[in-house]
Amino acid sequence: MTCLPTSTEKRLGLVIDLDTCVGCHACVVNCKEWNTGGYGAPLADIDAYGEEPSGAWLNRVHTFEVTPVAAPAQIVHFPKSCLHCDDAPCVTVCPTGASYKRSEDGIVLVDEDMCIGCGLCAWACPYGAREMDPVAKVMKKCTLCVDRIYNEEIPEIDRIPACVRTCPSSARHFGDFNDPESNVSILTMARGGYDLMPEMATRPVNKYLPPRPKTNPAAQGCASHSTPTVSAPGGFLGWLDAALERLG
Amino acid sequence: MHPAISVIFFTVTSGAGFGLIALTGLGFPFGGGALSVFLFCLLGGGLAVAGLIASTFHLGHPERAWRAFSQWRSSWLSREGVAAVATLSLFAIYALIWMMTGDRLLWLGLIVAAGAAYTVFATSMIYAQLKTVPQWRSRWTPAVYLAFSLASGWLLAAGFGDLPGAGIWGAVLLALAWGIKLMWWRRAADARLAGSASSPESATGLGFIGKVRLLERPHTGANYLTREMVHQIGRKHAGILRRLAVLFGAIVPLMVSATVWLTAAPEWVLLAAALSLFAGLFAERWLFFAEAEHSVSLYYGNR
């Protein structure tokens, strides 16, 4: 049913730390690897080794340049996957009931056997979280690794989404936002986690942690470092310098 | 947005078909025997059905299209499907009674007309509901779809039917529809993504630091999102397409309608106006999609 649940028991989601993300794309690759062999149809590519490779990915890392008024520009790597919104517009527009939000944990999923591939859900998502599979012709999206997090066949340490498990800089965290004591709730509180495009009124579950303030070299009086001063060398180097000078 | 030919064909043809069905239900005067009634009703139903079938061509799984009738409680696309099938079924009964007995049941016709209008409204709401496309999200969008549906249906009905002076009313309805479309274009020019509440700063949440600019896309190649929603090639000839839309959609049919009225030419000449309007509406619908800007563009350095 594509009507949204009024509330969900858990609100599982991710915290993404833009301060520590190094833009290595390991989460992108591990997401693709896991989801091409897990839940639903494989996550296909077209012309993967050819001139114009293209395919469905559930997680992509964009890179932005942010320029403050009076400081050097900084680079922010920006991983983006489904935000599992409380008011998910992708779910309500679905004509078949293939898209749904689970009342037990808030995960937004697609039943691929019911999806007609009309693409309207992707139009309704402000964030570009949904991509059509070029081979299976059904809509693909982040499942929050629903086939890992409850999977008792794999070691407990692996029962988190593939992107979180693989992140080498701990920029991704997984937990229940309904639990005020959870790691994600505490991180969001402590670091001022925010929503993407709040003006779209989608109420995303996933939160982003802002980059910590950078020290401004100019304000610290360190500008002189940019023009190295050359003083005359002493000792062996001084002798060598003088000897070569005579030869030249 | 990517202008899919199947969806453009669907909105234009179904719009005209349901316009014709609505006018038939409202009792548009039509002489002739059972066979011509049959052909007349077949045209209305046929246009609507042809459009609906074309719309399934852009689906990944057309064989599952029947599933789209289930979610009418939340989905405008589903409502459109349900309304279209219900209206066409009732219209078939209406046409059958008309052919068999010669009676046109007014009460049934009124229900059919309301159903046809609701179907076109539901089609327009598929687009008008999307917060992600500010140019579409407007009350003017349903107004445009309904007005063009009525105008194109009227020109067809007038061409086949027996309403003296129908040509001048066709011209009035067409002028009204284009008036609404000009208002839509004017509003759309002020409803660009760049002027909306969304920006690269709100999309990333990094505006508190400074100006945000995309440095690198996630992948070097194109993807579904860039092809479908960051589509810009369709805008390349926007100026010429807009002129063609007005020429074939407004000027030619208005001149034909006026000529029919002034010279008392046979009413079927209005069908030429209808055909020209279709050509103009294809250009108008192409631009409706191609010029629309989706918020996901903000993540890809485009507008």
Q: What is the ipTM of this complex?
A: 0.92
Q: Could you tell me which residue, B32 or B7, shows the higher pLDDT?
A: B7
Q: Residue B118's CB: how many other CB atoms inside 10 A?
A: 19
**Residue at A95 is within a domain:** yes
Alpha helical stretches, state H, chain B: 5-25, 34-55, 76-101, 106-128, 140-160, 166-190, 200-204, 224-228, 238-246, 252-263, 270-290
**Residue at A1 is within a domain:** no
DSSP-derived pairing of the beta strands A207-209 and A12-17: parallel
Does the pLDDT at position A178 exceed 80? yes
**Residue at A164 is within a domain:** yes
Interface test with A, best of B59, B135, B223, B298 (most A CBs within 10 A): B223
Sign of CA dihedral A132, A84, A126, A214: negative
Question: Which among B181, B179, B186, B191 has a CA at the least distance from the CA of B137?
Answer: B191
Element counts in chain A: helices (H) and strands (E): 7, 11
CB B201 within 8 A of CB B271: no
- Chain A residues in contact with B208 by the CB 8 A cut-off are 210
Q: Choose the closest CB to A115 out of B61, B215, B221.
A: B61
CB B134 within 8 A of CB B188: no
Q: What is the DSSP letter of A62?
A: E
Does the pLDDT at position A225 exceed 80? no
- Chain B residues in contact with A123 by the CB 8 A cut-off are 1, 130, 132-133, 228-229, 294
Interface test with B, best of A63, A82, A123, A125 (most B CBs within 10 A): A123
Please, which pLDDT band fits residue A154 given cuts at 50, 70 and 90? very high
- Chain A residues in contact with B69 by the CB 8 A cut-off are 95
CB B110 within 8 A of CB B87: no
**Residue at A159 is within a domain:** yes
Q: Could you tell me which residue, A219 or B298, shows the higher pLDDT?
A: B298
Q: What is the DSSP letter of A5?
A: P
Task: Give the integer Cα–Cα distance in Å for A23 and B264.
Answer: 73
- Chain A residues in contact with B211 by the CB 8 A cut-off are 66-67
Region B5-300: CATH code: 1.20.1630.10
Q: Could you tell me which residue, A229 or B301, shows the higher pLDDT?
A: B301
Q: Please answer yes or no on whether A66 and B209 come within 8 Å at the CB atom.
A: yes
Residue-wise DSSP of A192-223: T-B-SSGGG----S-EEEPPPPPP-TTTTT-G
What is the average per-residue pLDDT within B233-262? 90
CB B2 within 8 A of CB B229: yes
Which CATH number characterizes residue A164's domain? 3.30.70.20
Sequence spans of domains, chain B: 5-300
pLDDT the model gives residue A47: 92
Does the pLDDT at position A227 exceed 80? no
Q: Residue B244's CB: how many other CB atoms inside 10 A?
A: 18
Q: Could you tell me which residue, B148 or B234, shows the higher pLDDT?
A: B148
Calculate what percentage of chain B has a pLDDT beyond 70. 100
**Residue at A229 is within a domain:** no
Please, which pLDDT band fits residue A220 given cuts at 50, 70 and 90? low
Into how many domains does chain A fold?
A: 1
**Residue at A3 is within a domain:** no
Task: Give the integer Cα–Cα distance in Å for B196 and B300.
Answer: 17
Helix (H) or strand (E) holding A236: helix A235-247
pLDDT the model gives residue A246: 86
Please, which pLDDT band fits residue A222 given cuts at 50, 70 and 90? low
The encoded tokens of residue A229 equal 């001063």
**Residue at A117 is within a domain:** yes
Q: What is the pLDDT of residues B241-252, one digit of tens each?
A: 999 999 999 999
Q: Please answer yes or no on whether A118 and B77 come within 8 Å at the CB atom.
A: yes
* Rg for chain A, CA atoms, rounded: 24
DSSP 3-state assignment of A37? coil
Q: Could you tell me which residue, A226 or B244, shows the higher pLDDT?
A: B244
Query: Which phi and psi (to 5°) does residue A12 adopt?
Result: -75, 140
- Listed in sequence order, the residues at least 6 apart from A194 whose beta carbon sits closer than 8 Å to its beta carbon are A207, A208, A210, B205
- CA A43 from chain centre, in angstroms, equals 18
Please, which pLDDT band fits residue A35 given cuts at 50, 70 and 90? very high
Establish if B132 touches chain A: CB-CB under 8 angstroms. yes
Q: What is the pLDDT of residues B264-285, one digit of tens each?
A: 888 899 999 999 999 999 999 9
DSSP 3-state assignment of A61? strand
Interface test with B, best of A1, A93, A194 (most B CBs within 10 A): A93
pLDDT the model gives residue A226: 57
Does the pLDDT at position B67 exceed 80? yes
Q: What is the pLDDT of residues B158-185, one digit of tens each?
A: 999 888 888 889 999 999 999 999 999 9
Does the pLDDT at position A228 exceed 70? no
Q: Choose the closest CB to B210 out of A62, A69, A115.
A: A69
CB A93 within 8 A of CB A102: no
The encoded tokens of residue A127 equal 């964030």
Q: Which residues span the domain enclosing A23? A: 12-209
Kindly identify which residue of chain A lies nearest to residue B78, measuring between CA atoms.
Answer: A95
**Residue at A136 is within a domain:** yes
What is the average per-residue pLDDT within A96-102? 96
Task: Give the integer Cα–Cα distance in Å for B269 and B267.
Answer: 5
Task: Give the integer Cα–Cα distance in Å for A132 and A140.
Answer: 6
- Chain B residues in contact with A54 by the CB 8 A cut-off are 221-224
- Which residues 149-168 of B have a C-beta within 8 angstroms of A? none
Sign of CA dihedral B252, B258, B260, B263: negative
Residue-wise DSSP of A22-37: ----HHHHHHHHHHTT
Q: Please answer yes or no on whether B215 and A65 come within 8 Å at the CB atom.
A: yes
What is the average per-residue pLDDT within B61-78? 93
Task: Give the integer Cα–Cα distance in Å for B206 and A175.
Answer: 24
Beta-bridge partner residues of B142:
none
